Each structure stands twice: as C-alpha cells, then as structure tokens.
Amino acid sequence: MMPDVTRFAPSPTGLLHIGHAYAALFAAQAGQFLVRIEDIDTGRCRPEFETAIFEDLAWLGLSWPQPVRRQSRHFAEYRQALDRLSGQGLLYPCFCTRADIQREIAAAAGAPHGPDGPLYPGTCRKLSDAERGGRIAAGAPYALRLAMDLACTAAGPLSWHDAAQGEQRAVPEQFGDLVLARKDTPASYHLACTLDDAAQGVTLVTRGVDLFAATHVHRLLQALLGLPTPRYHHHKLLVDASGRKFSKRDRAPTLKALRESGKTPTDVRALAGF
C-alpha cells in the first residue's frame, strides 16, 4: 500500500514551540511528510521565522521534499478558484468594515455565533448589482464572501472522515457567509489550504483538533471546486502542566529556547510524547 502523503503547514509568524513539534512529529510519523509555508498574511509573516522553522524541523531530525510550497507564490491559483466560485454565482462583494459588522450585530439582539464568532449579518448581500458596481468603480475596498446557503445547496449533502472521531456529516452552514478573500489577503486560510492540499496530493491531513470545525468548510470547497477529499486526523493539542494548550501568545517554550538551554532533539521529542 502507498504511504499517505501528510503535511505540516506552519505560518511563519513566530518561532515554533513544543506544540508545533508535536504536530510536525505527528504528521511525519503518519506518512510521507511535506512542509508547506502558509504565508498568505504577508503583513504578519517574516522570512526570519521561515528560516527558523526549517532549522528547528531539521534539528528535530525531520526531512521533507524540496521545493517547499509557499502560499505567497500561488495567488494566481487562488484567484482562479475565486473566479470559478464567482462564475457559479456563489460569491458576493462585502464592503463592511469590522466596525460596521459589530454595529449591525449589536443592533440585532441575539446574532447567531459560529466557530469563529458571530455570523456575518448579511448586510452586503442585499446590495443591488448597480450599488456593488458603483462602489467597486469608486475604489471601495471589499472582501469576497461565500453565499453559504447557495453553496450548500449547490454541493448537496457531504461527509468526511476523521481518524479519531469517525464519519462526519459536513455542516459548513455553522460558519455563515465566510470571507474567502480580502483586498490585503487575496485568499483566506480555508481557500488556500484546501487548494494546496489538493495541489500537493495530500491524502491524510493531520492537524490540531482546534481546526476540526474548519474541515467542514474545506469539504464544501472541495465539492464546489471539484477537488479530491483527503482523510483527516485531528489530533490532541499539547497542554502545559496546568492543562492549558501551548500557544505563541502564552510564550510556550520555543524549540530555539529549548535547544539553547541544552535540550537534545531526543529530549524535545520525548517532551512532545514521541
């Protein structure tokens, strides 16, 4: 049997910590391991963090095929996918600022929440073609949103498989009208990740259980864009001694700091449970 193709897909917005080591080692032991740099958000990503990612992974004893895919080099492919969704009548421009959305939600008591927070109240869905055209022609910045109900109807019922939690019925509706692109980020995480997993022939997506809900959206995008559906294995998140998950924000011990304090790759693998 062919080994699964797996991937570790960090964003170079900081140094890797022990939680990342767990995710990378998990992917590497589950199949033929790829590294992908998710640097869509060019404002937050830094080349020095990318260099540090490769150093840390090599230090841990991992190796991966070259060249590494960098999302920032593939904006044209993401654009093509957006054009395809647009051609299916599933996207609309949204001119709302964050403040506009907050105001609208505050005014409508009891706005529904999804995995990423309150759902978009649909303000810009009501605009006429003439209004949209006028604002775009006037240079107003806009995001592209997926008309979720139309997208779900177009795709029909969908399911996906998680190695830990079994067969799942896809419920992307819980996200509402998601943003798939913005002026400053030409593809959302969901779009770029789904397209890249297909382009790289990933057969088993391993990632933290914190991204479990995202897979409902990825499954929908696969159906709309005619992409294959990999299998998934959402794994546990490493937690510290007090039971909190390690994160950049909480200054989890970075692999660099562990290395500089004299820990060996074997020590760090053991700390991560490998």
Residues of this chain that bind ligand GLU (CB under 6 A): 9-11, 38, 193, 207, 211
CA-wise closest residue to 59 among 116, 100, 21: 21
Q: Which is nearer to ligand GLU, 11 or 32 (CB)?
A: 11
Q: Which is nearer to ligand GLU, 11 or 92 (CB)?
A: 11
Q: Which helix (H) or strand (E) holds 222?
A: helix 214-225
| Min dist. Cβ of residue 59 to ligand GLU (A) | 19
N-term to C-term CA, the chain: 25
| Min dist. Cβ of residue 86 to ligand GLU (A) | 24
Q: What phi and psi, each to the nearest 5 degrees, are found at residue 258?
A: -65, -45
Q: Which is nearer to ligand GLU, 9 or 223 (CB)?
A: 9
Q: Which is nearer to ligand GLU, 10 or 93 (CB)?
A: 10
CA 259 centroid distance within chain: 29
- Please, is 9 exposed, middle or buried when counting C-beta atoms within 10 Å of its C-beta (0-12, 13-18, 19+)? buried
Q: Which is nearer to ligand GLU, 209 or 211 (CB)?
A: 211
Decide if 5 contacts 233 (C-beta within 8 A): no
32-37, strands of its sheet edge to edge: 5-8, 32-37, 69-70
Decide if 17 contacts 252 (C-beta within 8 A): yes
Decide if 227 contacts 194 (C-beta within 8 A): yes
| Min dist. Cβ of residue 30 to ligand GLU (A) | 13
| Min dist. Cβ of residue 138 to ligand GLU (A) | 35
Between CA 138 and CA 125 the distance in angstroms is: 19
CA-wise closest residue to 234 among 214, 249, 254: 214
| Min dist. Cβ of residue 74 to ligand GLU (A) | 14
| Min dist. Cβ of residue 11 to ligand GLU (A) | 4
Q: Which is nearer to ligand GLU, 37 or 105 (CB)?
A: 37
| Min dist. Cβ of residue 262 to ligand GLU (A) | 28
CA-wise closest residue to 162 among 208, 198, 223: 208
Q: Which is nearer to ligand GLU, 179 or 211 (CB)?
A: 211
| Min dist. Cβ of residue 232 to ligand GLU (A) | 10
Q: Which is nearer to ligand GLU, 147 or 214 (CB)?
A: 214
Burial 170-189 (b: 16+ CB within 10 A, else e): bebeebbbbbbbbeebbbbb
